[in-house]
Amino acid sequence: MERRYMPVVIFLAAITVGIIIMVVISVVQNKPLYQKYKYGIVLDAGSSHTSVFIYEWPAEKENNTGMVQQKHTCNVKGKGISSYSANPQGAGASLQECMNEAKQKIPAHRHPETPVYLGATVLDSVALSLKSYPFSYQGARIISGQEEGAFGWITVNYLSENLRKPTGTLGALDLGGASTQITFVPQQKIESSDNSIDFRLYGNNYHLYTHSFLCYGKDQALKLSMGKKLESTLKTDPIELRDPCFHPGYKVPRTVPDVFNTPCTKELKLANENFLHVGLGNWSQCQQSIRKVFNTSICSYSKCSFNGVFQPSVYGDFGAFSAFFFVMDFLNLTSDSLATTKEKLAAYCSTPWEKIVGNHPKIDQKYLSEYCFSATYILTLLEDGYKFTSNNWKDIRFIKKIGDSDAGWTLGYMLNLTNMIPAEAPDMPLMPYGGYVTFMFFFALLILVLLLLVYLYFHRSTRTAQKDII
Ligand SMILES: Nc1nc2c(ncn2[C@@H]2O[C@H](COP(=O)(O)OP(=O)(O)OP(=O)(O)O)[C@@H](O)[C@H]2O)c(=O)[nH]1
Ligand SMILES: [Ca+2]
């Protein structure tokens, strides 16, 4: 190559090296920092249980949707702290095992900044006990039914990453032991302000319908239903309560206070307090008896669910969790049509109790004996109560988790209290880091190829010039 081209080549080589250095520096410079994690603890003190949820998220990405994930959950032994009203000291002590697990799961240097939230019913001794742990106790709050519904909705939509778009969100159906909630974005106007809640999340406005039915969790609904049967039968037959929602051959002695020991059922004084709870296993009679706990004849709005509560028509897909999942999953009814569900349930309810026990020797007989009732109650609540039909039954997804996180109000509650869902969408990087590195790599490669072509062009034109001279 002629000496006169050398400066050009040196110049081009210098540019190449400069560009490669620039690319390497910018790739290293923008590499995400070492994942520092933050943690949060939420205690769900439900009517039938208490659970401790530990959440974690990358510290510098907490405002991005979907970043908070459930790291661990621990169920407090026994019926949970709500059952310690007579022995408050026992409530705090019952948390010890789960709170010590939390100390193991969360790095010690993060303990002082890890918030602890206690939701639902509270006892002072629990607050005292929670303050004794090295976490940052943020107090206890009684979660209203409306909040329980709304936070459950936030949880399922945060985990499904639906909160980056204004439409296409998932409705939330939560069935507890004492209460049940329905929350969704309706197509019609919400006629009662008590049932309306507005959120602005990631720059999107959501106008939600929500309602919580106290006493319509599955445990209380069973008492309501048995109470109605007792009122009508025990006056005539003081010995036996013949129940179509329990299996043939099921015979268990009970007392009237067993059924009426709750504010959900009005007091019933009967001369004879002892009776035999006898199963008949007749599904259609069971459904008829359950329908009696729903009052669908009163409604002062354009449309109601039951007991005079306004409800717009259900719309879109729904996530049904907690006991909706426990019951329908146990009976393998999570993916059947409404008609098939009814057929399967009728067959299951008419199965003799001894066969049911024989097929499930390890299942707690308290839960096992109630699946026929609970599943029939779920069907009646969804179809007669919320007006789901055979056409949109397929839009109900019975779920326990989304990814590794349980569906329920606790994640939404923590996200709300820690302001981790901004009203406005945070700026998103032009491209994810991986895409950025790939782009810069191919950009550098392109520069190299171009410079090689230039060099070859010069080289060839020099050779041609030499030949001409010869
Ligand atoms: N079959 C079955 N039932 C369960 C299980 N865990 C809880 N349950 C029952 O399902 C119902 C709902 O459970 P939870 O969602 O924990 O209810 P909760 O939060 O205590 O009730 P609320 O205070 O009304 O929200 C209760 O009747 C529980 O006894 C389970 O693993 N299997
Ligand atoms: Ca609950």
**pLDDT above 80 for 124:** no
Set 148, 273, 354, 424: catalytic member: 148
Q: Where are the domains of the chain?
A: 3-29+449-469, 164-409
% pLDDT > 90, the chain? 61
pLDDT at 121: 43
Please check if 196 is assigned to a binding site.
no
pLDDT tier for residue 29 given thresholds of 50, 70 and 90: confident
Q: Which of 49, 84, 181, 183 to mutate to test the pocket of ligand 1 (most atoms within 8 A of CB)?
A: 49
- What whole-number distance in Å separates Cα of residue 313 and Cα of residue 188? 8
Tell me if residue 148 is catalytic. yes
User: Which has the closest alpha carbon to 67: 152, 159, 167, 151?
Assistant: 159
Q: Cα 51–177–210 angle (5° rounding)?
A: 95
Tell me the residue length of the chain: 470
Who lines ligand 1 at CB under 6 A?
Answer: 46-49, 176-179, 217-219, 322-323, 326, 330, 367
pLDDT at 387: 98
Higher-pLDDT residue of 394 and 165 is: 394
Interface ipTM > 0.85: yes
What is the average per-residue pLDDT within 169-181?
Answer: 96
**Distance from the CA of 457 to the center of ligand 2, in angstroms?**
74
Give the best-scoring range by mean pLDDT among 26-30, 229-233, 255-259.
255-259
pLDDT tier for residue 357 given thresholds of 50, 70 and 90: very high
Specify whether the backbone of 227 is left (phi greater than 0), alpha (psi in -120 to 50) or beta: alpha
CATH 3.30.70.100 is right for the domain spanning 164-409: no
**Distance from the CA of 176 to the center of ligand 2, in angstroms?**
5
Q: Which atom belonging to ligand 1 lies closest to the Cα atom of 178?
A: 24
Q: Which residue lies with its CA nearest to atom 26 of ligand 1? A: 177
